[in-house]
Structures are given as structure tokens and as C-alpha cells.
Amino acid sequence: MSKMSKNKAVFKNYDKEQLAASSLSLKNLSKSFRGTPAVQDLWLEIGAGEIVSLLGPSGCGKSTTLQLIAGILRPDAGQIDLGHRSLNQVPPEKRNIALILQKGLLFPHLSVGENVAFGLKMQGVNRLEREQRATAMLNRVQLSGFENRLPTELSGGQAQRVALARSLVIAPQVLLLDEPLSALDANLREEMQALILQLQADTQVTMVIVTHDQAEAVVMSHRIALMFEGRLRQVATPEEFYRCPTDETTARFFGGVNFFQVKTSAGWIKATIRPEQIQVFAAPQPPAKDLPNPSPNLLPMAVTANQFTGTQRRLTLKAATGPSLQAWVGPSNTFSIGQSVWAHLPPAALWRFPNSENLSGAAMVGYGVIQPLS
């Protein structure tokens, strides 16, 4: 049997009408606990078959938002729609939404096969079909032959695979994942990320992931919804978060470390540039042959730190006056502490605040007018 045929045998086939019904809308959603806001005026449209990560620091309202979608919590205000259907008065078990938590929460007294088939049993599916679908789904999550094991006999990664199989076998319209991989080691986390993405591609289930890990959100998401203090700060693709953050807080959360004021022909502006976009060349001669002609934003600096991370070197650069800059270069570069270098800040890589306009072609007036942000 071909891979496509196997997938059709395991997964529910969604037609266009069913896919449209799987879009998720959060409108003016708010929730407080004892007068303290947890989610405030949240608006978010999630398309059918889309993967969106709710990203942010601890306590920003990510998990609360997920529980509102699942029906575990009821909103104080606002509307939750699945397709054209309002969920506000629909109990959790009637929403056709599956939720996976960090620890999976398998039933300890049931076998792996019985855990996976549990939702089907609640739907009234007959025993033979339950067993067939559970076995097929376990094969899809690479746990063939585990049907008779107990949860206590599973590793953490295996338990999460069972939880994933249990959630997907019922063909939910939306799959919610609350920090599902945070307890796994790095290698296993990458394996599970790849598995989840493959299963999502097979099922086209709409997926909402809660995470505080920027790297995980970037790898897993079509779009990221960044939250701070219960509010959405920015909703964008992973690439857009790196190229054009809406504000300094957002840029810092995604690893931005270079913030300064520069003077252009339009006056003073606040700007940022990512460390990997700065080009570093050995001094004393400017590397004119390697740069556009003319070469704007070429700054004389000295290396004050050189940290090897395995895949790159992270340099700290300092000038006699002006701010320090962080630059990430290839691992084979051998700049020494105290070495004089030229740092080139390509105008096209500069991003300004607060109007989010690209500075391509707007060169700095000169190094003497670059100032660190307070």
C-alpha cells in the first residue's frame, strides 16, 4: 500500500466545507482571575489547517488562552468561533477540539492501545474499528507493537507519542498543544517536532501550540502570536519577526541585541540590526573589494569578546566612542581579543522603530552620531 493510501486509511479526509469549518476566531477575548487580567482584548484569526504558536514569557496568558479555546475556562468577555459556530456555550467534550498537555496525562490503568482508542469509545465506535484505528495510529507515531504496554512502561517521549495518537485518532478540527515538548531532551524534541509537523501535513488539522521557546515556535509555526501581559504584541510569520519586529521589546525577545540611534537625512531614528547581519573584516585597511561602492556604515571597532558556540562565533565589538555591537560570524573566523576590525552595517539590514520602515538606501551620516538606546 502506498504512503498516500495508508494516510487515507488512518486519517479522516477533510473536504472543503470541513476545512472551512476548522478556522478559529478569537474576538475581544478577556479573562481575569480575582481581578487580575490574564488575557486582555485578544483578537486572533487562525486559518483552517494553519499552525499558530502562542509565544511569550511565563505568565503572559498563553495557557489561559488555550484553556479558553478548549472550554476548560469560560471567558469573561469575547467570542470564540470554530468556523461559523460559536463555542462560548459549547461544553469541552462537544467542541471537537483535542488538547495535549506537557505530561500527556495517560490513563495509568489502561494499556497504550486502550488509551489511544478511548476517545473513539466515547464516540460510540465499535470495538473492532477502535482497535484497527488505534493500531494504525500507533504505527503512524512509530509505536507499532506497543498496544499492550502500560503507560508506566513508556519513556517520556513515547508517552507524548501516545498522547498525540490519542488526540489525532478522533480527527479533531483543532489540536491544542500546551508546552508538549518542554520536558524532553534536545534530540528527542527535534524528533517530535518533525513527527508533529508530518502528522499535521497528513491531517491538515488546525493547530495551536503554546511555547516559551522562540526556536521551537520558529520551527513549528506558519505564524507566531507573541504575547506579553495578556495582550498580543505582534502576529506574524517567523521570518517577519526577525526582519521587521514591531517594537524593541519584540526584537529583544527574538534575540535582538543591537539597538541604537542613528542620524540619517531624515533626522534621528531608533534602529536595530541583528547580529548575524553585521559583516566583520580585519583592519587596518577597509575591505572595499568586499563591499558595495560606495560603502556606507563602515565602522572602526575592536573585538572585546569572542565566544565559540559550535555553529558560530559571537563577537562583542567596541569603539572608542559609541555603543558596543554583537556580531555573529562563522565558526572558522579567528578574530582575537583586542584586534582592530571594520564592522559593516548594511543599510538594507537596518530596521527602525516605531514606524517599522526599512532603511535601505538611508545610510548613517557618520559613526560619530550613532548612539546607544537608553
Q: Which of 211, 244, 277 finishes a domain?
A: 244
What pLDDT score was predicted for residue 21? Answer: 58
* Domain-embedded: residue 250: no
Residue 266: what pLDDT?
66
Digit-coded pLDDT (tens) for 104-148: 689 999 999 999 999 999 999 999 999 999 999 999 999 999 999
Cell 559583516 belongs to residue: 279
Q: Per-residue pLDDT tens for 243-296?
A: 888 888 898 898 877 887 766 666 677 788 899 999 999 876 666 666 655 556
Contacts of 243 (CB under 8 A, 6+ apart): 351
Q: Output the pLDDT for position 249.
A: 87
Residues 228 and 204 in one domain: yes
CA-CA distance, 96 to 224, in Å (whole number)? Answer: 23
- What are 230's three cell numbers? 495578556
Are 203 and 102 in the same domain?
yes
* Prior bond of 354 cis (ω within 30°): yes
Hey, what's the cell of 124? 460510540
251: in domain: no
Please write down the long-range contacts of 358-364, taking CB distance under 8 Å and 24 or more positions apart: 358/244, 359/264, 359/269, 359/271, 362/264, 362/265, 362/266, 363/264, 363/296, 363/297, 364/262, 364/263, 364/264, 364/296, 364/297
**Cα R_g (the chain), whole angstroms:** 25
Q: What is the rounded (10 degree) CA torsion for 28, 85, 203, 54?
A: 10
Query: 147-151, 237-241, 353-357 — which is least confidently predicted?
Result: 353-357
Band (pLDDT 50/70/90 cuts) for residue 373 is very low
The structure's pTM equals 0.82
Per-residue pLDDT of 147-187, as tens digits, reads 999 999 999 889 999 999 999 999 999 999 999 888 888 88
Count CB neighbours of 366 within 10 A: 12
> What pLDDT, in 10s, does the model give residues 289-323?
666 555 567 888 999 999 999 999 999 999 877 77
In terms of residue numbers, what domain contains 169?
3-244
108 and 152, same domain (yes or no) = yes
Check pLDDT > 70 for residue 2. Answer: no
pLDDT over 70, % of the chain: 83
Task: Indicate if the pLDDT at residue 20 is higher than 60.
Answer: no
- Whether 71 is covered by a domain: the verdict is yes
Query: Is 249 within the bounds of a domain?
Result: no
Closest CA to 52 of 298, 237, 311: 237
Sheet of 325-329, strand order:
279-282, 340-344, 298-308, 313-318, 325-329
Burial of 203 (0-12, 13-18, 19+ CB in 10 A): buried
> What is the pLDDT at residue 213?
92
- Looking at the fold, whether 266 and 123 belong to one and the same domain comes out as no
Residue 16 confidence (pLDDT) above 80: no
The answer to whether 197 and 181 have CB atoms below 8 angstroms apart is no
Stretch (H or E) spanning 4: helix 3-10
Q: Which residues contact 228 (CB under 8 A, 6 or more apart)?
A: 56, 57, 60, 249
pLDDT, tens digit, 9 for 90 and up, residues 46-94: 999 999 999 999 999 999 999 999 999 999 999 999 999 999 999 999 9
Number of domains in the chain: 2
Beta bridge partners of 30: 77
